[in-house]
Amino acid sequence: MEEVRLIEVKEEILADNNQVAAGVRDQLRNKKTLLVNLMSSPGSGKTSLILRTVEGLKQGLKIGVIEADIDSKVDAEKVAASGIPAIQLRTGGFCHLDATMVTQGIDALAENDLDLIIIENVGNLVCPAEFDTGAHKNVMILSVPEGDDKPLKYPLMFSICNVLLINKIDYLSLSDFDMAALRKRVLALNPGIKIIEVSCKTGAGIDNWIAWLGQEVESFRSGQ
């Protein structure tokens, strides 16, 4: 009997993806366009945060948004209604974006000469953490109703992010969410991560997030 050949598909896919991702970063660095990958569970507030961010930064920056969903254009339509260029990537069943998919979104936004592109990745705490999108910064949202134990269950997601936004802090008084325990768990995984508490509903803490992001864009544009 002929020996069956084993092919490590995932390893090859990830290696190819990492190469494309590195190209995306270099391409946008040359254009001085910062690419931010926003990840979270479904319903944690990604689109709401993007709308708050756009409102805070659109007077001084040219912003574009790449929305990803298994189906529908709902989120892209919300962003476009705010006057910001938005592209919807329909993943057709894939639970994440990879760098090749993101390249299609960037190409569609290319004519806008942007300072900042925000990716709203597919709502999922597993697959998006495994695929490099080519982003210069990874940001995740954890909402208070999800609980403070998520770093224990999904450590990779917390490990790869530059910023953790704890959203829906207006629910803190209604829950047993332990902010101190959450911070301890996250910092044990990723000592360099920046943690910002926000509420997209009330606007609390949003200025801190916008200030951080605005500074990152300015530093990127100046080549720092």
Please give the pLDDT value at position 13: 60
- Please answer whether residues 122 and 99 qualify as being in contact, where contact means their C-beta atoms are separated by less than 8 angstroms: no
Within a domain: 88: yes
Residue 36 near residue 50, CB atoms below 8 Å? no
Place of tokens 């912003």: 63
67 inside domain: yes
Residue at 8 is within a domain: no
What is the predicted pLDDT for the residue at 103? 92
Q: What integer is the mean pLDDT of 189-194?
A: 98
Residue 25 lies in a domain: no
77 domain-assigned: yes
Q: Which residues is 67 bridged to in the sheet?
A: 88, 120
- What is the rounded distance in angstroms from the CA atom of residue 208 to the CA atom of residue 186? 19
* Residue 188: domain span: 33-219
Band (pLDDT 50/70/90 cuts) for residue 96 is: confident
Predicted confidence (pLDDT) at residue 5 exceeds the cutoff of 50: no
pLDDT category at 4 given cuts 50, 70, 90 is low
Q: Looking at per-residue confidence, does 83 or 15 come out higher?
A: 83
Domains: count for the chain: 1
Rounded Cα–Cα distance for residues 107 and 105 (Å): 5
pLDDT more than 70, % of the chain: 92
Residue 224 lies in a domain: no
Q: Does position 117 have pLDDT exceeding 70, yes or no? A: yes
Has residue 70 been placed in a domain?
A: yes
Q: How many CB atoms lie within 10 A of CB 112?
A: 14
Instruction: Count Cβ atoms within 10 A of the Cβ of residue 173 and give its class: 0-12 exposed, 13-18 middle, 19 or more buried.
Output: exposed
Predicted confidence (pLDDT) at residue 3 exceeds the cutoff of 60: no
Averaged pLDDT score across all residues of the chain: 91
pLDDT tens for 52-95 read 999 999 999 999 999 987 666 788 888 889 999 998 888 776 78
In 10 A of CB 66, how many CB atoms? 28
Q: Residue 106: what are its φ and ψ, rounded to 5°?
A: -65, -40
Question: What share of the chain in percent tops pLDDT 90?
Answer: 73
pLDDT tens track for 149-170: 999 999 999 999 999 999 999 9
Pairing of strands 163-167, 86-90: unpaired
Eight-state DSSP code of residue 125: S
pLDDT at 52: 97
46-57 vs 206-221: helix crossing angle, rounded to 10: 60
Please say whether the beta carbons of 156 and 150 come within 8 A. no
Note whether residue 149 is domain-resident.
yes
Is 9 a residue whose pLDDT tops 70? no
pLDDT score for 2? 46
Give the domain CATH number at 156. Answer: 3.40.50.300
* Most confident of the following: 81-90, 121-130, 207-216: 207-216
